[in-house]
Amino acid sequence: MPNRFDLPAGFRWGVSTAAYQIEGAVTEGGRGPSVWDVFAARPGAVRDGHTGAVACDHYHRYPEDIELMRGLGLDGYRFSLAWTRVQPTGAGPVNPAGLAFYDRLVDALLEAGITPLPTLFHWDLPQALEDRGGWLDRDTANRFADYTAIVADRLGDRVPAWITLNEPFVHMVYGYALGIHAPGHALMLDALPAAHHQLLAHGLAAAALRERGLEVMIANNLTPVRAASSSDADVAAAQAYDALHNRLFTDPLLLGRYPDLSAFGVADDLGGSVRDGDLKLIGATPLDGLGVNYYNPTRIAAPTDPGLPFSEAPIEGVPRTAFDWPVVPDGLRGLLVGLRDRYGAALPPVTITENGCSTAEDLDDTFRVDYLAGHLDALATAVAQGVDVRGYFTWSLLDNFEWAEGYHQRFGLVHVDFGTQRRTPRASYAWYRDLIAAHRARFAG
Ligand code: BGC
């Protein structure tokens, strides 16, 4: 069986974070409010009333955090830009102090020998755009393209590759269908225009990046879907769920069409949001890489609730993270091989842009080390089975603001004491550092 040391020469090692989850300083440097500032302030929205107002205070402490990255020997760092630092209302004039922050961050990363891999949107939409409809409003896609052009003009001389959106699926489902995340709409299937408008935003932004000679990626949350049994009803339910979770964003990008959502009673104009020419635009700029965020597989059974064509079934008999997510490393291999089989030559090179687990607070971090080792071995097996995977960015460098769970779920290679902001590397930090060094040493000389 191949293992993590068999990953190919030139394989890129990294860590991932996101702006609202680590930066803090939400009213500094001219930053405008995002949907997450407003949502987190709503009583009951986030566990124990936590907010990202301070988070890891990375806005001030980024030099220390880059030192931690340098200590790991990383090739790359995936982070996101807060749109409201760059354009406080999501449109119009640029805020120079906001752009200057990312300028400093990029320079400091390059000085540490780390390639920046920015994500343009990781769920923190300017509140001013939400007030005009957010991702339910088609015009948000145009605003996103303008914002992309602004940051690409400023940072594109030093940043070669860009991720447009993070997990548009999770953002649509949690933010617009279920109301668990900002902006907190519970529209169920009426949320689907938020999918189409995010894809449109991707298409427009991709063109703006390409015009400037930059590489384009997108990162989505994908999950291998298993039917709970071989019954026709369970298999049909699993297919319906797979179309929604895995194909809704990937099919238009790679095949130029939406998957069949008829099991949901949804026509392929997604609630009337799709116009002539949109699908062409969405796929017009070929992706240089597909970002895959993998946490766990999903087991699906026939519906129990008449509103949806599926229900979720538990996965038993495997370890579970602090979040209660099942740990199934081979799911990553299955997911990647399945992507290759489904899309064939249309599948661009893959980068794992997130993978990791939340654990208890302790520093004896055996659980996380086992999690990472298992997933990296599974990844090496997928590569041996012919999937082109170029890099792995673990989630996350630091314990951080875990959305609706506040500070309760800890995903960091580095423990953060949120009272003092003291950073303490966990055992997984040393393990990851040693793995990177050993892997590199294999190909040196
Ligand atoms: C998101 C991250 C999040 C992580 C763990 C992903 O869905 O992109 O922002 O912290 O999963 O829940």
Contact 296, 331 (CB under 8 A): yes
d(CA 220, CA 65): 25
Is 211 an annotated catalytic residue? Answer: no
Is the pTM here over 0.85, yes or no? yes
Confidence band for 43, pLDDT divided at 50, 70 and 90: very high
- Which atom of ligand 1 lies closest to the CA of 18? 9
Peptide bond before residue 224 is cis, with ω within 30 degrees of 0: no
pLDDT at position 95 is: 98
Instruction: Cis check for the bond before 16: say yes or no (omega within 30 of 0).
Output: no
CA dist 134 and 172 (Å) reads 11
Which residue type does 242 have?
A: D
DSSP labels, 351-379: EEEE----B-S-S--HHHHHHHHHHHHHH
Say how many Å lie between the CA of residue 232 and the centre of ligand 1: 33
CA distance 337 to 386: 8
Q: What is the DSSP string of 306-358?
A: TTSS-EEE---SS-B-TT--B--THHHHHHHHHHHHHHGGGPPPEEEEE----
Helix axes 427-443, 366-384, angle to 10 degrees: 30
Token readout for 325 is: 């997510």
Closest CA to 107 of 144, 149, 130, 77: 77
CB contact set of 305 (below 8 Å; sequence gap of 6+): 311
Among 304, 317, 308, 195, residue whose Cα is nearest residue 258: 195
**pLDDT tens figures, 255-270:** 999 999 999 999 989 9
What confidence score (pLDDT) does residue 312 get?
Answer: 98
Q: What is the DSSP letter of 410?
A: B
Q: What is the pLDDT of residue 403?
A: 98
- Structure confidence by residue, pLDDT tens digits, 145-202: 999 999 999 999 999 999 999 999 999 999 999 999 999 999 999 999 999 999 999 9
Q: Mean pLDDT throughout 94-105?
A: 98
Please give the angle made by the CA atoms of 377, 381 and 384, to the nearest 5 degrees. 140
Predicted confidence at residue 363, as pLDDT, reads 80
Q: Is 166 helix (H, G, I), strand (E, B) or coil?
A: strand
- Rounded Cα distance between 383 and 174, Å, is 32
Ligand 1 centre distance from Cα of residue 396 (Å): 9
Cα–Cα dist 428/415, whole Å: 10
Query: In which order are the strands placed within the sheet that holds 298-301?
Result: 225-227, 298-301, 311-313
So what's the pLDDT on residue 362? Answer: 82
Q: Does the structure show a pLDDT above 90 at 361?
A: no
Confidence at 364, pLDDT banded by 50, 70, 90: confident
Q: Where are the domains of the chain?
A: 12-443
Predicted confidence (pLDDT) per residue in 106-119, tens digit: 999 999 999 999 99
pLDDT mean over 35-40: 99
pLDDT at position 407 over 90: yes
Q: Where is 299: in which H helix or E strand?
A: strand 298-301
Which CATH code for domain 12-443?
Answer: 3.20.20.80
Q: What is the mean pLDDT of the chain?
A: 98
Q: Which residues line ligand 1 (CB under 6 A)?
A: 18, 21, 166-167, 170, 221, 293, 354, 395, 402
Among 67, 354, 402, 405, the one annotated catalytic = 354
Please name which of 306, 292, 320 lies closest in space to residue 218, comparing C-alpha atoms: 292
pLDDT band at residue 305, thresholds of 50, 70 and 90? Answer: confident
How far apart, in whole angstroms, are the C-alpha atoms of residue 214 and residue 226?
37
> Is the pLDDT assigned to residue 445 strictly greater than 90?
no
Residue range 385-404, pLDDT digits in tens:
999 999 999 999 999 999 99
pLDDT of residue 360: 86
Tell me, what's the pLDDT at 298?
98
Residue 40: predicted pLDDT: 98
The candidate with the shortest Cα–Cα distance to 134, out of 103, 97, 179, is 179
How far is CA 60 from each of CA 63, 185, 366, 419, rounded to the nearest angstrom?
A: 8, 33, 31, 15
**CA dihedral of 339, 341, 343, 348, whole degrees rounded to 10:** 60
Share of the chain above pLDDT 70, in %: 100
Known catalytic residue at 28 = no
pLDDT at position 269: 96
Question: Can you tell me the distance from the alpha carbon of 330 to that of 286, in angstroms, rounded to the nearest whole number?
Answer: 29
Measured in Å, residue 324 CA sits from the centre of ligand 1 at 14
Per-residue pLDDT tens digits for 315-350: 999 999 999 999 999 999 999 999 999 999 999 999
Mutate to test the pocket of ligand 1, among 296, 321, 354 (most ligand atoms within 8 A of CB): 354
The yes-or-no verdict on residue 34 having pLDDT over 90 is yes
Q: Give the type of residue at 143.
A: R
Residues in CB range of 191: below 8 A, 6 or more apart: 172, 173, 176, 177, 185
Residue 285 buriedness (CB in 10 A; 0-12 / 13-18 / 19+) = buried
**CA 221–ligand 1 middle distance (angstroms):** 9
